[in-house]
Amino acid sequence: MKREETEGIGFEDRSDYWRKTINGKTVAEIADIITSFEQRATRDKLTGLINKDEFEIELKGFNAGARRRGSDVYILFLDFDDLKAINDRQGHEAGNELFKRGSDLLKSCFRPSDLLCRLHGDEFAAALEIANPEVNPDNMEGLIQRVVSNLGESGISISIGLHKFSEDEDLNDALALAERNMKLDKVDRKAGREFAK
């Protein structure tokens, strides 16, 4: 129960409710424990980002809201390049440091309204609401360039795959298509070609 939900439940003052004890713990302590378990179930421990299960749940409401506003939803599949090679050459500590730094940079690149999750390993997914992408393609291109350049300035290379998410599409199918495009991007960039949409 959230603190704002305690009004009118028979206590003279809400602070009385939170001080009430059950089996030696206050209601406030129990609420904090429940919140901690909920966060562990929905968030990635290392990055603090939502996990794939929570991403799938939140995507339903995100997608519905975007459709009501007449916007499109795009799924991005993001993969740090050469993290395994860094682990092999410099050790896991160096790889973890790069991963944490890259994760923080990724968070700073996206808008508060975007969904960003850690899938597993060094792979991430994002959901973006884009209004009129055909009329204003800079929305998407600007974001992708921001991600690539911000990480690149810190010596981190990232590959990105993009897929337009249809209303009734399964998330796993959309992620598979975005991942396929990410692998093409990785090949293209190693060959010196630009990101292809």
Looking at the domain assignment, is residue 195 inside a domain? no
Residue 110 shares a structural domain with residue 78: yes
Domain that holds residue 14: 3-42
For residue 122, what pLDDT is reported? Answer: 87
Looking at the domain assignment, is residue 20 inside a domain? yes
Residue 32 shares a structural domain with residue 71: no
For residue 134, what pLDDT is reported? Answer: 60
Per-residue pLDDT of the chain (197 residues; tens, 9 = 90+): 454 554 555 545 667 776 777 777 675 655 554 554 444 568 888 888 999 999 999 999 999 999 899 899 999 999 988 777 777 888 878 777 888 888 899 999 888 889 999 998 889 999 999 887 565 555 677 888 888 888 888 888 899 999 999 888 899 999 999 999 999 988 877 666 555 44
The pTM of this model reads 0.72
Residue 132 shares a structural domain with residue 85: yes
The Cα 165–Cα 114 span in angstroms is: 14
For residue 160, what pLDDT is reported? Answer: 93
